[in-house]
Each structure stands twice: as structure tokens, then as C-alpha cells.
């Protein structure tokens, strides 16, 4: 990994720039900070987990307040979700997505307070949040949902599945449905199983009170690897953003960056 992972190279910028909303031609106030530099400031915070107020002005990213506001503006415009879809389509076109199965999991992440927080059932009831993740059979992230730490994993199964974006890149209609869904016993639910089958997805989930399905762990390990990649972005490993929309914006950006790295590794 680069020693300066917040630097946006020309290839990545060529994908991001077209989906950024334009600035009004006659906007009040001083000339806004260049979008590319502002994005690098956001990435600096995402990687380093410094506060927005600590963002070094000498690096030319603008103030932390400027980057923070730009993050919210871009999230409202759907920039990071659009980037994620573009990169998924590139991976799909290259045959790098495994649609035979998806994996779901949801370890807890600490948080100091704010939207979508609640008492953690595994950490002395401390207030916290939880990331729910769905990825393909290769560990490519499709969707991350943030909830309070006390939200049961099973309640998010259908939202995760329905949150898989339509992925283009191959002839025919964009794809968004895998063949199988793999999960641990926390996702065991007869109603969810029926709904998954209606969507053409076969659930492969160990039943509560029964032995684990043989070999399931060897197929599901990719979701744990993807969580490790996601939480390498230090701003996500412990949630500091009190506003849920800004935290979700950073999570979506992180998913796009993981896809970008996989695409670059394939072509390098």
C-alpha cells in the first residue's frame, strides 16, 4: 500500500470527477477548494482517524470544516454510491465478481454517541454501533448498513440483500441477485428464508440448536477478511461521526476504495 494512501491518482480521479455535482457558477463567498484536494482531505481523515479540526492546512486540502461539508454535499448527491457501482461494474466486466454466493456478517464497532447507537450486548452494555456487511464469494463488498449495537443481525438480512446495487459490466440486464446466501446461526430465520427464496436466493445458514453445516466456515471466511479491510480505514473501526449520514458516506467511500484496489491489483 502507498505510504500516502490519501493521494487520488489520475485513473481514480477520472472515475470520480464525472459524478461530482457542479458548483454554482455564481456561488457567494471565496473560491471553493479544488474538489480533488478536498477529496484527498476526506481520505486523510478516513485513513488516519484524526479529527476534522486537526486536518493539516499545510497539505492544501482546505480546512476540516470545508472537507466535512463537502463530504455531506457529495453524500446527498449520491457520489460515493455511484463510484461504488462504477467500480463493481468494472470488476464484473473483468469476471472478478463471484455471483454464486454472498456472505453476511456483523461484528460490533465502538462509538461515542449519536444516531444509530445502542447498548452493546457483548461489551458491558456500552453504547456502540454495528456494521452489517454483505459481500460476494470473493469478498468484494456490496453493501454496508450501520445500526445500533443491540440490533439483531437477522433483522438486516433482507435489507442487505435488497441493498445490493444493480451491477452492469456484462451483456444483458444488470445483475443484483446471487445464487446462495451464506450466514452463521445469527441469521437463522424461517420468514427470511421464505423471502430469500422468493428472490431466487437459496439460504445456506446453520440452524440454531443443530451442528454447523460442514465446510460453511471455509466459504464464509471472506466476509471476515473484508471486514478487516474495511476497518483498516481507522475512521470506521471506531465510529466517531455522530451524524449517521456522514458515517455512511465514509463507509460507502471505503467500499469503493476496496473495489478500486482489487481492480488495480488485477491490472498491475
Q: In the predicted model, what is the mean pLDDT of the chain?
A: 88
d(CA 64, CA 40): 11
pLDDT of residue 115: 55
Fold of 98-240: Nucleotidyltransferase; domain 5 (3.30.420)
Query: Quick one: pLDDT band at residue 260, thresholds 50, 70, 90?
Result: very high
C-alpha cell at 171: 451483456
Task: Locate the DSSP E strands across the chain.
Answer: 101-105, 108-110, 118-119, 127-136, 141-148, 180-183, 202-205
d(CA 36, CA 54): 19
For 187, which DSSP code?
G
C-alpha cell at 96: 472478478
Does residue 134 sit in helix, strand or coil? Answer: strand
pLDDT of residue 7: 92
Percent of the chain with pLDDT over 70: 87
Q: Which residue has the cell 481514480?
A: 12
- Name 135's Cβ contacts closer than 8 Å, sequence gap at least 6: 102, 103, 141, 142, 222, 223, 226
Per-domain residue ranges of the chain: 10-76, 98-240
118-119 and 127-136 beta bridge pairing: antiparallel
- Region 25-31: what's the mean pLDDT? 65
pLDDT of residue 129: 85
pLDDT of residue 124: 46
d(CA 239, CA 237): 6
d(CA 136, CA 141): 7
| Helix, strand and coil in the chain, % to nearest 5 | 45, 15, 40
Q: Give tens-digit pLDDT for 93-128.
A: 999 999 999 999 987 554 444 554 545 454 545 567
pLDDT of residue 28: 64
C-alpha cell at 143: 453493501
pLDDT of residue 122: 46
Amino acid at each position: 500500500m502507498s505510504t500516502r494512501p490519501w493521494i487520488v491518482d489520475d485513473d481514480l480521479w477520472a472515475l470520480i470527477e464525472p459524478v461530482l455535482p457542479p458548483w454554482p457558477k455564481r456561488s457567494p463567498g471565496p473560491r471553493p477548494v479544488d474538489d480533488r484536494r478536498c477529496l484527498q482531505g476526506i481520505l486523510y481523515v478516513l485513513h488516519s482517524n484524526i479529527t476534522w479540526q486537526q486536518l493539516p492546512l499545510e497539505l492544501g486540502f482546505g480546512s476540516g470544516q470545508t472537507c466535512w461539508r463537502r463530504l455531506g454535499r457529495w453524500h446527498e448527491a449520491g457520489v460515493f454510491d455511484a463510484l461504488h457501482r462504477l467500480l463493481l461494474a468494472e470488476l464484473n466486466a473483468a469476471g472478478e465478481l463471484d455471483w454464486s454466493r454472498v456472505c453476511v456478517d456483523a461484528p460490533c464497532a465502538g462509538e461515542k454517541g449519536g444516531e444509530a447507537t445502542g447498548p452493546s450486548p457483548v461489551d458491558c452494555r456500552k453504547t456502540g454501533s454495528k456494521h452489517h456487511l454483505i459481500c460476494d464469494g470473493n469478498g468484494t463488498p456490496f453493501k454496508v448498513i450501520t445500526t445500533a449495537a443491540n440490533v439483531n443481525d437477522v433483522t438486516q438480512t433482507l435489507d442487505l440483500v435488497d441493498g445490493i446495487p444493480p451491477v452492469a459490466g456484462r451483456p444483458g440486464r444488470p445483475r443484483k441477485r446471487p445464487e446462495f446466501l451464506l450466514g452463521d446461526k445469527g441469521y437463522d430465520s424461517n420468514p427470511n428464508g421464505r423471502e430469500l427464496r422468493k428472490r431466487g436466493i437459496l439460504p445456506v445458514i446453520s440452524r440454531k440448536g443443530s451442528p454447523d453445516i460442514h465446510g460453511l466456515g471455509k466459504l464464509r471466511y471472506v466476509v471476515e477478511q473484508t471486514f478487516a479491510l474495511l476497518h483498516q480505514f481507522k475512521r470506521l473501526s471506531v465510529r466517531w461521526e455522530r451524524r449517521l449520514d456522514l458515517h455512511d458516506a465514509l463507509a460507502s467511500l471505503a467500499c469503493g476504495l476496496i473495489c478500486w484496489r482489487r481492480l488495480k491489483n488485477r491490472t498491475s
